[in-house]
Amino acid sequence: MPRQTLPVTSAPGAYSGASAVVTFTAANTTDKEQFTLTGKELILINNTGGGAATWTATSVADPYGRVGNIAAESIAAGAIRVFGPVMPAGWEQSDGKFYLEASAATVKFAIIRIP
């Protein structure tokens, strides 16, 4: 099956009169996740489970041939982590997406696009 496409929340600008509701989506441990990468995304990773879990991000070679996967980074129970902003170089897959996954469905992802 195709990867689960995560919804992206647009952050309001500096002079907005309102805030934005952040949508967290549970990891699909079978199909994994993706979102369209523009270079302005922050990834929030929330482990809502009772034990530690991991998350992984799949990189691609940057213009200098370097790769730097995030391989099974541990997240303590109840912890929230943030990653980014994520630049396309080194992360954007051939389909324009960023690929990520988690070890448990108790891990929830939210993608915030900053202006």
Extract the tokens encoding 92.
Answer: 């954007």
- Residue-wise pLDDT for 40-97, tens only, equals 999 999 999 999 999 999 999 999 998 999 999 999 999 999 999 999 999 999 999 9
**Cα three-residue angle 102-23-95, rounded to 5 degrees:** 60
Residue 24 has pLDDT above 90, yes or no: yes
What's the whole-number mean pLDDT along residues 32-37?
98
Residue type, 90: G
What CA–CA distance (Å, rounded) separates 26 from 71?
Answer: 19
User: φ, ψ for residue 81 (rounded to 5)?
Assistant: -115, 160
pTM for the predicted model, two decimal places: 0.94
Extract the tokens encoding 27.
Answer: 């990891």
State the pLDDT at residue 1.
83
